Amino acid sequence: MSQLLKKISSFGKVTSKEKRVIFVGAKRSGKTTAFGCLDLACGILTHQPNSTFSYYIEEKSSGISQVASDLCQGLFPEETPSGLIFEAILHIRNRSQFSEQNIAMPFCETAGEDMESLTGPYIESVYMQKPDWQSADVLNKYICDSHGYIVTLPVSETNIPWVPAEFRDTKDEPQDSSGHFVDPDLTLKRILSAVLTYKEKNKATTPLIEGIAILLTKVDKILHFVKGHGMNLNSSEGQQKFLTTYFRQSTAVLKYYGLGKVKFFPVFVEVEKKRTPEGKVIINRAENGKPKILVDRENNLPSFSKTTYTELIQWALNTF
Ligand SMILES: Nc1nc2c(ncn2[C@@H]2O[C@H](COP(=O)(O)OP(=O)(O)OP(=O)(O)O)[C@@H](O)[C@H]2O)c(=O)[nH]1
Ligand SMILES: [Mg+2]
């Protein structure tokens, strides 16, 4: 680099303030798995030749950095204990000669029921505010005063009637604390409504939402059938049709934000399957009863939607 260029870059380097993009979703919607996949995708991007990208993980719960290596071993993460607020913050950075961009992505461990009690005060009327309003307020501000959101919506038999039989006996469906199935669409709608209500009430002080990503998780369950239902998830019409059919309530709130700001990312890890002599497809399971993940031993990676995760990181860097 010439002396002149060195001088310019040391004076003129634009370092953006760290933007905050919160990662939220219902319990069992695949957040921790998505975190592990993002960790792996970040690693891939970091190690590309001449890469300007780097990242680090701020651990908030012990074991979170284990997730990526567990996925490489074919194992899904353990259930995140309820009561934690953030399990990790993923910090990503793109540093070129003249600019530097920093984004923090806190993984909000708001198992559905926690999130509802925390965001409740902003949904209910002033006459029905909960006693924990004060503590909820701090968290609400942290969540609501963010520049963007990545929200997980899982493919689930609760929403999509044609999820194939082998995926119907799993224990991975979204549930509340008493074991009742919950509709991930409804949970997400509540989270989005709470953020929206907060932003409307605090227009002068809270940052505008610059982007929202919908991470449709567990897409491997329907990957081979979705086109047959007239919904090509790689086309924007197909995505629209899919979302408005199966995630009606969340999509309605997102429309209010302006769908132009919303980007859709279908993601998955692939699970091991086998066919019985009778022709029935069954999923191989680990000792803890969770499905086993298909592993690409050659590259020491799980079989997952690598390209889409890379696109998600690019989207974050281009949007914030
Ligand atoms: N088939 C399939 N199953 C998945 C995928 N991602 C997650 N799962 C299943 O969903 C379960 C829950 O995923 P997690 O990543 O733990 O979800 P979470 O949102 O962190 O859940 P909690 O921490 O319990 O709130 C896993 O144990 C798997 O059984 C996927 O891409 N494909
Ligand atoms: Mg989790």
Q: What is the pTM of this model?
A: 0.88
* Count of all residues that appear for the chain in the document: 320
Q: Is the pLDDT of residue 221 over 90?
A: yes
Cα 45 from Cα 154, distance rounded (Å)? 26
CB atoms near residue 316 (< 10 Å): 23
Q: Which ligand is nearest to the CA of 25?
A: 1
Give the lowest-confidence range in 51-55, 118-122, 242-246, 292-296. 118-122
The protein residue with its alpha carbon nearest to ligand 1, atom 4, reads 218
Give the lowest-confidence range in 35-49, 71-85, 172-186, 259-273. 172-186
Measured in angstroms, how far is the CA atom of residue 28 from the centroid of ligand 1? 5
Q: Which ligand is nearest to the CA of 82?
A: 1
- Ligand 1 pocket mutation, candidates 23, 24, 28, criterion most atoms within 8 A of CB: 28
Higher pLDDT: 204 or 37? It is: 37
**Short-list 265, 177, 148, 290, CA closest to 214:** 265
* 199 touches 143 (CB < 8 A): no
Q: Using alpha carbons only, what angle is made at residue 61 by residues 58 and 63, rounded to the nearest 5 degrees?
A: 95
Measured in angstroms, how far is the CA atom of residue 146 from the centroid of ligand 1? 25
Cα 150 from Cα 154, distance rounded (Å)? 13
Report the pLDDT value the prediction gives residue 283, as an integer from 0 to 100: 95
CA distances from 231 to 4, 16, 90, 191, 243 (A): 54, 39, 32, 26, 10
The protein residue with its alpha carbon nearest to ligand 1, atom 23, reads 80
Q: What is the pLDDT of residues 81-119, one digit of tens each?
A: 766 667 789 999 999 888 899 999 988 765 444 555 555
Higher pLDDT: 305 or 178? It is: 305
* For the CA of 152, the nearest atom of ligand 1: 19
* For the CA of 283, the nearest atom of ligand 1: 1
Q: Buried b / exposed e across 138-171, counting CB within 10 Å, b at 16+?
A: ebbeebbbbbbbbbbbbbbbbbbeebeebbeebe
The protein residue with its alpha carbon nearest to ligand 1, atom 3, reads 218
Report the pLDDT value the prediction gives residue 2, as an integer from 0 to 100: 46
Q: Which ligand is nearest to the CA of 64?
A: 2
Higher pLDDT: 123 or 233? It is: 233
The protein residue with its alpha carbon nearest to ligand 1, atom 25, reads 27
Q: Provide the domain count of the chain.
A: 1
Please write down the HEC assignment for all residues of 38-95. HHHHHHHHHCCCCCCEEEEEEECCCCCCHHHHHHHCCCCCCCCCCCCCEEEEEEEEEE
The protein residue with its alpha carbon nearest to ligand 1, atom 13, reads 30
* For the CA of 80, the nearest atom of ligand 1: 23
Q: Which ligand is nearest to the CA of 87?
A: 2
Q: Is the pLDDT of residue 166 over 60?
A: yes
Strands 99-108 and 14-15: parallel
Residues with CB under 6 A from ligand 1: 25, 27-33, 76-77, 79-80, 111, 170, 172, 217-218, 220-221, 268-269, 271, 290-291
Measured in angstroms, how far is the CA atom of residue 228 from the centroid of ligand 1? 25
User: Sign of the C-alpha dihedral, residues 255, 87, 70, 103?
Assistant: positive
Give the lowest-confidence range in 115-119, 138-142, 294-298. 115-119
User: Sign of the C-alpha dihedral, residues 241, 242, 246, 248?
Assistant: negative
Measured in angstroms, how far is the CA atom of residue 43 from the centroid of ligand 1? 21
Give the lowest-confidence range in 8-12, 38-42, 137-141, 197-201. 8-12
**Which residues span the domain enclosing 237?**
3-319
Treating both helix axes as pointing N-terminal to C-terminal, what angle do 184-201 and 133-144 enclose, rounded to 10 degrees? 90
